[in-house]
Structure 1
Amino acid sequence: MVVLAAIAVVPTQAHAEPILQQRCNADSLDVTQGALRVEWARKCGLLKNVGSPTFGFDTGLPASTGGNLIDYQEADPGRNPYGEGAFSGPSQNFEVNYAYVNALYLSGGTSQGTDTWGYQKWSRADTRKRARPLYPTFGSTSDLANASNVQLWPHPTLADCNLYADRAGSMVAQASTYYVNGYCEASCYAPDQRILFADGYTSILDALNARREDLMTLTPDSSLDDVKLQQNTTYSYTAETRDTEHPLYVITTQSGGELRVTNEHPVINGEGRMVQAQTLKVGDDLVKADGTPDSIVDIQKTSHFGKVYNLRPVTQDLVSNVLVAQGYLVGSSNFQNDDVAYINRIILFRSMPSDVIP
């Protein structure tokens, strides 16, 4: 199922993202429904706001099928900076194909072809499809934190391009007074996992409920030989909307520590690489918060029925998106949301003498 998320491609208002939890609770979709929502948003953005295939612009980016990728902008950021009446978000610059392809696919070569209405449509290889599409959710104001923001829904059959004040699709919202408030996506900590904040460890569920912002992460210049922590700021929390079954890896280390994460959760290993938990094996090392290795002595694959959670800081660089869970260095949801581009790559380089660096 597609689950809620507060991710980097949504509201620009400060501190609005954690509130997206409630928004996605009410607007939860499964994988198939989420993909259909994305297709609907693209269609409506083009037919309602662009109006003609001739209004496309050359992005200058090469298409894997030849030529350059053509996109369509459904709102002028100069005149309509928050995207009133648009179906793609402001962080996507209201570019329809760009929003569409990144909601359904991880990064990769992008091809294009002509759709039913004559517009150029982008796609990527099936192997790059997201397991959980990111689908837009809508509100009556651009600011998700505004007390007057009313949640809006497409018609349940996606039969038209209207937004409705009720999920059943019986009360049409005012013609153009709607905005993309965010996208919905997944997460992967069990609720009892403890994350390091400024005053110590707190379970991720308690942190989410309290909207804790004082997240501790590595400093951007940290390495395995020089691990340093800093107080960062939480950008977003993610949490599932319904209880469901998840594969869970219970990793026990030589020191007696334990880390419980889902199979795809990004973890730093003893080489300083960001790897998925499911690739770890007995004898590999986890890395403690002080940079010391801790050998894995047991891995049990089990399951967790319930909700899982994640979070990410405001910072964008890779190293300061490494945080501390149960005493070990792990990746924030940024590594997953950013198409896992750096999974299995070295994130924390060991310090080297300057005379051996080419």
Structure 2
Amino acid sequence: MDRPATGTRALHQALPPAMREAVDDFAAHLSGVRGRSAHTVRAYVTDLVSLLDHAARMGCAEPAELDLTVLRSWLAKQRTTGAARTSLARRAASARTFSGWAHRAALLPTDVAAGLASPRAHRELPTVLRADQAADLVEAPGRRQPADAPAEADAAEPARLRDRALLELLYGTGVRVSEACGLDLTDVDQGRRVVRVLGKGGRERAVPYGLPAERALRDWLDRGRPALAGPASGRALLLGARGGRLNPTTARRIVAGYAEAAGLPRVSPHGLRHSAATHLLEGGADLRSVQELLGHSSLASTQIYTHVSTERLRAAYRQAHPRA
């Protein structure tokens, strides 16, 4: 089992043996069979250990003794201790995932959490840039010194080319910042203008990119990357100032820095992803295509962008229609 946090580890060790074994088997299933990331497995394990600790305190000694009353009692306790709606929704989802697996593994006679309701997490409409603001941002490296580059103009050029390639990729493809930083040279098909992205859960997808990103990538690969590359570069597409793979924290700092310098609203790589999705829908792309491009496993995750577009349509209607 991936090592949980210290507090969770202590609770895990204090569980009855049958419950402790169930936690370990569930974690192995998530990691080995479903291909979940170490971070995701830790989150599930933390929720599950909390649930089983609560169940043990209610007299349960093994998973088969779990029932809907115990699950509801656990969530109620979380609510009384101030857990946010989003946290309650996530914990209920963890309980349902475990219950379904435990039933299939014959640890539970029935899927006891199938009927477990959870509060709907309040989802804020994402902040997005206008198309002209997004254009200003991706073109900003031509007007500002890169944050991690030396003061000399010639030495700063490779970092500027990398920053432009990073911004064009983030906005031009809508990939997550971790996905962009995880790209290797072999993931870029310059002939077809497609990047191969390894997303959440190990799911792979091909994402097209446009002419501006093509030019930015070509400049970076021809003139920028060779100047920064070193022994630590490996096959990484985007490099940091010391030649290693660009990390997401640095990428976030790059995006925020250029946005501030350009006088734009505060924006992160995820904000560029929101902007790309919204502009695609406003330009006529269908929801299923946007879902595939973004790598969402559920269409519900993509539908939030239709809310953004609807709000903009409503604003335009109020402004322009004589009977609004």
Q: Which has the higher contact order (CA 8 A, sep 6+)?
A: 1
Larger helix proportion of the pair: 2
Using structure 2 for the length normalisation, give the TM-score: 0.30
Larger radius of gyration: 2
Indicate the structure with greater strand content. 1
TM-score (structure 1 length as normaliser): 0.28
